[in-house]
Structure 1
Amino acid sequence: MYLNCHTYYSLRFGTLSEAELLNLARENQLEQLALTDINNTSAGLNFVRKAQEFGIKPILGIDFRNGVDQYFVGLAKNNEGYQELNNFLSLQLHDQKKITIPAPAFKNAFVIYPFNKVTQDQIATFKKNEFIGVSLKDLRKLPFSNLKELKDKLVVQQPVSFRDKRDFNAHRLLRAIDNNILLSKLPKSEEADPEEKMLPLADLNSAFSEFDFILKNTKRLLDSCNIYFDFSEDRKPQNLNTYLGDTSSDEALLEKLCHEGLAERYQHRAVDDVILGRLQKELDLIKKMGFVSYFLINWDIISHARSQGFFYVGRGSGANSIVAYILRITDVDPIELDLYFERFINLYRVNPPDFDIDFSWKDREAMTRYIFDRFPNVSLLGTYVTFQEKGVIRELGKVFGLPKEEIDQLCSGKYQTSQLDEIGRLVLKYGALIKGMPNYLSIHAGGILITEKPVHYFSATHLPPKGYPTTHFDMVIAEDVGLYKFDILSQRGLAKIEETLRIIEYNQPGKRDSIDIHDIAKFKSDPIINELVKTAQCMGCFYVESPAMRMLLKKLKVDNYLGLVAASSIIRPGVAKSGMMREYILRHRDTKRAEERAHPVMLSIMPETYGVMVYQEDVIKVAHYFAGLSLGEADVLRRGMSGKFRSRDEFQKVKDKFVDNCLKKGYDDKLIFEIWDQVASFAGYAFAKGHSASYAVESYQTLFLKAYFPIEYMVAVLNNGGGFYSAEFYIHEARMLGATIHSPCINKSFMGNYLYGKKLYLGYMYLRELEERVVEQLLKERKTNGEYTSLTNFLDRVSISIEQLSILIRIDAFKFTGINKHELLWQAHLSLSKSPTLDHPKLFPAKHKNFKIPHLYATNLETAFTQLELMGFTLCSPFELLAKPPENNNGKKDLEANLDKNIDIYGYLVTVKNTRTHKGTRMNFATLVDQFGEVFDTVLFPPIAAQYFFRGKGIYRFYGKVVSEFGFLSIEVIKMQKEDYIPDPRYADLKTSSLKQQFPKK
């Protein structure tokens, strides 16, 4: 009898999850229940899915409101009615329209107007599907209203938003957060009625006993509503069914594409029975599972990308597929890598394989637009941003009016609960209640749905700033109902490859034509590239540049593609967390250890990885062969290891069966739970082997560019946001690779960095205070009328303020004039101080006075500090800025000679990783550059980390022991101190002669 119920997807209003609402209905003896969230359909599909578990008939609708002001409730008679409601809500959300009365003329949906919204004029035009809702509160008014005469139009409308007083208090806090006001200032008009609760059915019937016809009307209305979505295990995919319009044409096209592409893809080896057998096996299964259109749509997407010259990488579990390889969706050959077929597809797997297609961050928007234009029924996939612990404490702290210091203390967790005042305890109490509730709708990182039925059959859509319709539900419920996403992602690594090729084209004319960046087979066998991998000289290269990866490559002595594939997955958090990274390294370096330590079954199913789970498909192998689960159950286990699936009942059942089966096989408890812990700790974080192989392909492409076009590649890295490190260290790397670095120049520089031969001119983007419009004007004028000849010429052509001009002068952008920057600053002030700044260049050159300027000079030290101020880094060695020069010349070159001995060494901080031991104590790993530009690594174990702290950028002096772990050298720090820089000479009272002596004029 409840046709107006809310979950917490009535954002910043409701307080119940779908399951809590259904449980409440069961407790109150209800047989059917309508979910009508406020301007939202996020919970709809999951509400239908979960309702059968509670023995309740689900009904779907929408509560249409402007803010908290209810205008009407729409209830779907059937799925078509739900689509009508979604169409209408989506239109309002996309166009940001207000809800108005009367409601649209829905064909398959009922409309219930709240009692206090119905007017005399409206009654005269009431439609057959329109009703008037009467709440318990309205019953007091009904006898005195002429609406009581409309007996066949009155229904029970008792809204449900809370269970109890605590829920109502949480609701008030959510409303205050939504309105960004103190709780004490929250107007009653912004709150729901405290009585929006669910009564037992008998109590509701009793309350309406004098108006029995209202109860009958309500039951009749609810009985006539039926909604159905298929959540069964054998449900059919709801994606676009066919690519060409019919199944047979699709299958014929897929066969044709595969047989045409076979020879091209396997031009380096004979097409044998293994390849043909694998291809036929895949094609048969793809057809049987109904995934043909899914493959063809992905093929269409990458074909368009290729026609536009866009770079892309196909990865995900689909990278285990030979069909995907032949169609060029991926560049990973499953035959070469012996990729596990059942990770890609099996008869028990309902969902199609994942294809994550990465495009350059510059090309992704064009590809998204193509997909929306090319296919019918397209939307982005939604996701929910939830209230997290610290965030909700901050929000509640503001709502309760706590000062910032107290909010910070609560967020830090450094308090005794007994010492908190009443407000502080309330913040924690309700923070725990609100934590995890959805806060607002957002967009999945890359998921796009292409559906057979209109998207609004399943959900309303909203229109985020990206400008594409986006569903109200997330990927988990999408998969439950048979909607499988296409992942269109972006990354900067591909843009770096594209830009490197463009730089080569203009910087080394003729070389570009000889480069086939897709000739991965050639790169894999290139000794120069493999040497870079072996020596971990990978700064800037995709996925292999971090200190942790550099360390792993050296420990594993990786010097080939297959080794890099393994390393790409071993580095993932799960393998390390399970303790198996170290075990893998030990077994890799001593294969006898694998025979001694690995369980025979584990070694037999994963011989390539020495019986250690490294790849995501290893979960399926272990579950199937070690624990005796079916392939379908094993796939549930794999999916259950991440995100929301972990809490699903079906996952818990599979986990229990895993343990039971192992016990029946006679494995001892220690072994069972040791294996289970490994599975549980890493499966959600590991890569599928095909995924790792795809990453390794891109790594090899970037390694090729770094090996043969190192400076061009580093410029592309810098121009595309860098990577693991800051821009300063990529500039340093370019210098180490032979580039000459120049500060920004008004005649040579652009917004990004630009290369002339081996001369790298930094871009204006590093000048943080320089306005973009000044750069645009400067570049436009230079392109139109040629280079600037002097400061005076520049001022005649570019409108600029003295503040902006001084930035350019101080950074040496006018160095080509040969005039000292101090003299240029004087000249600039004298030229601009009496002239108003114009928004356009002067039409005619002004007559210039010859000012007499005193002879001035600048030192290298002043220049360095100016660069530090304007760009955040210097172009000289930071060691030149030390107040006290280094007392020794030790560097990375001296580590091997001092193995197992203590060393005194200076290093400029590159990056530091703070981590915790299993006991929760802090320790640090730091990477630094020595006096000679070489990189070395240090570790501060907990006792030392408790004594010494890294205090930002700068040079540190270390005293510690040189150690080797599997051939990787690092320093276990014993003592550490940060070295002081010389006082800034631009402000310090230093003698000119002293400055001249230390840093003579250039």
Structure 2
Amino acid sequence: MSRAAALGSTFLALTDHDDLGGAVRFSRACRESGVTPLLGAEITLDDASHLTLIVENPTGWGNLCALLSRGRTESFRGTPSVPWSALRERSAGLVALSGCPRGRIPRLLGEERFAEARAAAGEMKEVFGDRFHLELWDHRTHQEASLCADLRDLAREVGVPWTVTHDVHYADPAGRAVHDLLTCVRRQATLEQAHRAGWLRPSGEWCLQPPAEMARRWSHAPEGIRRTREIAERCAGFRLLDVPPPRPSFAVPAEYASADEMLRVLAENGLRDRLPEASEAHWTQLRRELDIIRQVRMPDHFLVVWDICRFARESGILCQGRGSAANSLVCYALRVTAVDPIANHLLFERFLSVERPEAPDIDVDFAAMDDRERVLQYVYERYTRSNAAMVCTHVEYRGRSAVRDAMRVLGFPATQGDLLAKRLDGHASAATAAEWLEMGEGKALRSVGLDPAEPRARALVKLVSGLDGIPRHRGIHSGGFVLSGGPLGETVPIEPASMPGRTVIQWDKDDCADIGIPKFDLLGLGMLKLLGSCIRMVREGRGVDVDIGRLPMDDPAVYAQIGAADTVGLFQIESRAQANFLPRLKPTCFYDVVISVGAIRPGPMMGGQVKEMLARRRGEVPTEYPHPDLEPVLGRTHGLALFQEQLMRCAIVVSGCSPGEADKLRRAMSRKRSKEEMHRATEGIREGMRARGVDEEAAEKVLGWLEACASYTFPESHAISFALLAYASAWLRLYYPAEYLCAILNAQPMGFYPVSTLIHDARQHGVQVLPIDLAVSGWDCSLERKCVSAVCVSAEVDGAACDGVLCGRAEADAAESDGSPGDALTHSRTQHSRTSSPAVRVGLRYVRGLGSVTGGRLRAELARGAFTSVADVVERFPSEHGLRALASAGAFRSWIEGGPRQALWTVLGELRARRSGGPLAPAEPSATRLPELAPAERTRMAHHVTGFDLDGHPMRHLRGRLRDLGVMPLGDLRDDARRNGERVTAAGLVIVRQRPGTAKGFVFVGLEDETGRVDVIVPPQLYARERETINGNGILAVRGRLGREDGVTNIKAETFFPLRLDEATEIVRSHDYH
């Protein structure tokens, strides 16, 4: 767009093929560049011809959306087609141009079918009247010159005006190469094949031209340029913001007079149910929110969300709203959110206000993706498929996809492109990939057999660079959808989704926000699945009902655990950054957890607010406030604003503005604006401060501080919602560690750490983990209700011996309780409850290599009944591939002694007997006794086939050798005798590699051994030098300086060297974020 403005263009039309996906961004870019946008599309008719349509008014917009939606949804995917009959019905408000050379009329003229061309022109004139024009172009080709002459003759014959366009496909001639590449990708062809087929344009003429150049080219026929301007002026009055956004409609039962009345009754009843002793402040706030919702006419919006959450609860699906919706007491009363906004001092206007009447997004998390799918299915059925569609995502080229596509188009073998792409960081941008290809005189290119000086290799670098920021394809948002009271495709463009029975709009969430389209987010959150599963197991196994909404929030044991960064597997507070922050924060109350969730974000960390807050909290520097009156607002965060709601309250306190005006200020400050625009946006606040006696200097100081904070603050309501789940996960893991481990293993993949670390950590907390065993394992991990502690098994508890099965005293205690969390807490604090914790049996889902089809067959057999013998397994599950995987994982341990190698020999013998037609009998001990694997080899195999080794940590096999080399156990790094800055050498299994965007190029490597974990800080220069060593090895030794501060231990790396466990190179599949 900047190119068009630089060339002096005053109007620009967007007419993508059968698509309006770029309309919102195009309109915004035009406004910012001072160019007037025209919106339209080049549609494909049912005879495969093209026709250009430009929107004249809101009616035309609705008709164009309807035509494109029909062309997409009623045609074969990827080949949109609009029936001529539909065009007749939907022509109002649209200006039609005859199109490019592939248009119906130009094509007929090119084939010298002049009579048919005249008839087609007459038909278009009949449908569109004076809104139809024949379209001419000049891209400096002989074919076009001849065709344009015929079009002008036809215009005179049939009395239709003609106009001039330029068919722009890229901003300048340099963009031609990338456009050709994208054409080849779409056609699934190489450049050579595309040239031979005539799919590529012959020159770079299909770019933006200056108005003066267009006037020069058509100086012999200036009336064409004049008519072009007339069309532009005719259509320039239409703006997307003039189109009323789609709004949901809720079918109100006859017992209510209106949607407003139904919402009021539900909210009042809900508040009484949730807070039987609700304060007057609650009731006053509820009435105020309902009044605002009535004023902005959005009761249907809230009723739809209430209905969705009602369905989820009645279906046994755990759900919880989050984000700015948690500022609403109405949402709390409707059981959409779990946060009481009055008790947590939240502001409704951060969510919705009269000053900002657009419908807010309401985000609701559901316990699992399959649960979310059930809810989405309900939405489609309840509100009809024609009125609902998912929001899309625009997936841009990243480094790997750019390298693969560019190499394929240039004619390189796909295997070579894949090999090169895999050597690139998975999150690298296309621009970074292009730089990487040129580094070290083309070292990366040479590594896959390419000569950097070869022309195709040089072209590869340019093409990869040119793909940076270019959309590659359209995806589906993880949970966002739009609802309308009528057919959605008549307001926004929709198309079929990849998932059968689903539709998706051609705009993403930012596009929807720009033009005020309300979006609902129904998201799958693994932590809710984990919590729901854990609570169910506690209830079924221990007879205790846990309500995460009523947990004791003042438990010092929970805060001690969090403050020690003992947070592996906990929601939001388990990451490396949190593990470094929490020991310094030393949380003692729930709001400290809220701070930890809100503070460890890019903005506060890069802006230095996190370090400043910790220093103030410890008393190292004084706590200062931008204005004395702000202490009540900022006291809990020590004079710093971490949250958006704090900014709003600050504006209210110092200026007396309304909450709605404060939210407008927050939104204004969060966007880049000129000094003049910012002064206008803050004028009302300035006047309020003057009226309150705040002098000009102090007012400017406060406003400057507010503007600086606005760039990094986080929604407090969102932080509180997530902090509730973080605390609940910490409480459950502390008091029910076996159930928690079982739940988190069944909820994978999720979280920061690999499964091996989750199991290792749980075992350090006293959880017994039992191996995979076909005789007892189900598909999922399960609990075995036995007292596994030596305290119960070999001694007496309260004077009576335990018999080794589920201890009756735990059940009796639970039976005597009233099921409240307080009783659960009291019981779980007893020694007996800890020692009677069940064991976790690993499920067959952790046998790698089964695959989805074979794994599905195994699950089906498990549903039929448990396996009883080797012969039973082979009879019911005769998959050699599957049996090999099961035997390697030790799954036959109840029936076959001697380890995986012996099991594999025996089971394959049974399978051969079955295939030969011989009788199958219970397996007898094999006469052939194979030697067992060496311990290190057994560990390597265990990690290969399951991802973990229950016999012990892999590093134990290296301990003797490491001791001889002077490499210390990681647990020793925390010895009080160790000094900060001391040079140390340590080693461990790589469990995490991370390169945050906020870390200025630093890389963090998490190492683990049998004694503990440590983070290794890798400077950018060291990472560049030893990148292959760091990324290519599963066990690393590091030499560097010990860092010890405020209870946090790390190593500042100076050099790395790899270690091997026999032939193992990658023992654990680390979680990499770089």
TM-score range, shorter chain: 0.7 to 0.9
- Pair 181,602 (structure 1): closer, same or farther in 2 beyond 3 Å: farther
CA distance, structure 2, for counterparts of residue 794 and residue 297 of structure 1: 49
**CA shift digits 1:403-448 (9 cap, x unpaired):** 8699977341654899978767766666665533333222333321
State the 1:929 CA deviation.
4.0
Q: Find out whether 1:873 has 2:948 as its counterpart.
A: yes
The one of 758, 772, 797 aligned to 1:744: 772
State the 1:877 CA deviation.
2.5
The one of 517, 529, 535 aligned to 2:547: 517
**CA shift digits 1:127-158 (9 cap, x unpaired):** 51165734246563466688456423453363
Unaligned runs of 5+ in 1: 1-16, 985-1002
CA distance, structure 2, for counterparts of residue 124 and residue 718 of structure 1: 69
Q: Find out whether 1:800 has 2:879 as its counterpart.
A: yes
Aligned-partner SS, 1:882: helix
Contact 1:58 1:227 in 2 (8 A): no
Letter in 1 for 2:370: K
Letter in 2 for 1:256: V
Contact 1:238 1:451 in 2 (8 A): yes
State the 1:250 CA deviation.
1.9
State the 1:724 CA deviation.
1.0
The alignment covers a number of residue pairs equal to 937
Aligned twin of 1:564: 593
Contact 2:539 2:545 in 1 (8 A): no
Aligned twin of 1:11: none
Letter in 2 for 1:666: E
Aligned-partner SS, 2:198: helix
Aligned twin of 1:104: 86
Aligned-partner SS, 2:292: helix
CA distance, structure 1, for counterparts of residue 675 and residue 523 of structure 2: 28
Alignment of 1:152-551 (within 5 A): 152-153=159-160, 155-156=162-163, 158-162=165-169, 164-187=172-195, 189-192=198-201, 196=206, 200=211, 207=218, 228-229=238-239, 231=241, 238-240=246-248, 244=252, 249-267=258-276, 270-360=277-367, 361-375=369-383, 377-388=387-398, 391-392=401-402, 395-396=405-406, 398-400=408-410, 410-412=434-436, 414-415=438-439, 434-452=467-485, 454-467=487-500, 468-504=502-538, 508=541, 511-512=542-543, 514-520=544-550, 522-551=551-580
- Pair 658,342 (structure 1): closer, same or farther in 2 beyond 3 Å: same
CA distance, structure 2, for counterparts of residue 635 and residue 45 of structure 1: 24
- Pair 230,905 (structure 1): closer, same or farther in 2 beyond 3 Å: closer
Alignment of 1:408-807 (within 5 A): 410-412=434-436, 414-415=438-439, 434-452=467-485, 454-467=487-500, 468-504=502-538, 508=541, 511-512=542-543, 514-520=544-550, 522-590=551-619, 593-595=622-624, 600=628, 603=631, 605-621=633-649, 635=663, 638-639=666-667, 646=671, 653-654=677-678, 665-666=696-697, 676-680=707-711, 682-683=712-713, 686=714, 688-721=715-748, 722-757=750-785, 758-781=838-861, 783-784=863-864, 786-789=866-869, 791-801=870-880, 803-807=881-885
CA distance, structure 2, for counterparts of residue 416 and residue 890 of structure 1: 37
Contact 1:747 1:782 in 2 (8 A): no
CA distance, structure 2, for counterparts of residue 29 and residue 334 of structure 1: 49
TM-align CA RMSD:
4.6
- Pair 611,184 (structure 1): closer, same or farther in 2 beyond 3 Å: same
State the 1:183 CA deviation.
3.2
Aligned-partner SS, 1:755: strand
Contact 1:173 1:399 in 2 (8 A): yes
CA distance, structure 2, for counterparts of residue 832 and residue 588 of structure 1: 68
CA distance, structure 1, for counterparts of residue 674 and residue 485 of structure 2: 28
Aligned twin of 2:127: 129
Contact 1:891 1:905 in 2 (8 A): no
State the 1:94 CA deviation.
2.6
- Pair 953,410 (structure 1): closer, same or farther in 2 beyond 3 Å: closer
CA distance, structure 1, for counterparts of residue 165 and residue 240 of structure 2: 30
- Pair 38,245 (structure 1): closer, same or farther in 2 beyond 3 Å: farther
877-886 vs 483-492, which moves further? 877-886
**CA shift digits 1:195-252 (9 cap, x unpaired):** 556674996698497797x8898888778768745638xx976423666399971222
Aligned-partner SS, 2:521: strand
State the 1:755 CA deviation.
2.5
Letter in 2 for 1:240: P
**CA shift digits 1:701-745 (9 cap, x unpaired):** 222321232111111111111421001111223323334333322
Letter in 1 for 2:350: R
CA distance, structure 1, for counterparts of residue 89 and residue 1059 of structure 2: 77
CA distance, structure 2, for counterparts of residue 55 and residue 981 of structure 1: 64
CA distance, structure 1, for counterparts of residue 503 and residue 301 of structure 2: 21
**CA shift digits 1:382-414 (9 cap, x unpaired):** 232234577546644554567869997734165
Aligned-partner SS, 2:264: helix
Aligned-partner SS, 2:774: coil
- Pair 978,78 (structure 1): closer, same or farther in 2 beyond 3 Å: closer
CA distance, structure 1, for counterparts of residue 265 and residue 996 of structure 2: 55
Letter in 2 for 1:981: L
CA distance, structure 2, for counterparts of residue 919 and residue 499 of structure 1: 36
872-881 vs 414-423, which moves further? 414-423
Alignment of 1:804-843 (within 5 A): 804-821=882-899, 822-833=901-912, 836=915
State the 1:184 CA deviation.
4.2
- Pair 318,556 (structure 1): closer, same or farther in 2 beyond 3 Å: same
- Pair 222,580 (structure 1): closer, same or farther in 2 beyond 3 Å: closer
The one of 925, 928, 942 aligned to 2:1008: 928
- Pair 818,312 (structure 1): closer, same or farther in 2 beyond 3 Å: same
Task: Calculate percent identity across the aligned residue pairs.
Answer: 22
State the 1:310 CA deviation.
1.0
- Pair 211,540 (structure 1): closer, same or farther in 2 beyond 3 Å: closer
CA distance, structure 1, for counterparts of residue 179 and residue 46 of structure 2: 14
Aligned-partner SS, 1:523: coil
- Pair 333,848 (structure 1): closer, same or farther in 2 beyond 3 Å: closer
Contact 1:63 1:70 in 2 (8 A): no
- Pair 123,612 (structure 1): closer, same or farther in 2 beyond 3 Å: same
Contact 2:626 2:701 in 1 (8 A): no
- Pair 386,602 (structure 1): closer, same or farther in 2 beyond 3 Å: farther
Aligned-partner SS, 2:623: helix
- Pair 584,220 (structure 1): closer, same or farther in 2 beyond 3 Å: closer
Unaligned runs of 5+ in 2: 139-143, 425-432, 443-451, 786-837, 1065-1074
- Structure-2-length-normalised TM-score: 0.76
Aligned twin of 1:990: none
- Pair 749,155 (structure 1): closer, same or farther in 2 beyond 3 Å: farther
State the 1:693 CA deviation.
0.8
CA distance, structure 2, for counterparts of residue 577 and residue 807 of structure 1: 47
CA distance, structure 2, for counterparts of residue 752 and residue 517 of structure 1: 24
CA distance, structure 1, for counterparts of residue 487 and residue 6 of structure 2: 32
CA distance, structure 1, for counterparts of residue 1039 and residue 173 of structure 2: 62
- Pair 578,290 (structure 1): closer, same or farther in 2 beyond 3 Å: same
454-463 vs 815-824, which moves further? 815-824
Contact 1:243 1:297 in 2 (8 A): no
CA distance, structure 1, for counterparts of residue 997 and residue 486 of structure 2: 51
CA distance, structure 1, for counterparts of residue 371 and residue 135 of structure 2: 55
The one of 865, 886, 900 aligned to 2:979: 900
- Pair 630,965 (structure 1): closer, same or farther in 2 beyond 3 Å: farther
CA distance, structure 2, for counterparts of residue 657 and residue 105 of structure 1: 46
Aligned-partner SS, 2:179: helix
Aligned-partner SS, 1:117: helix
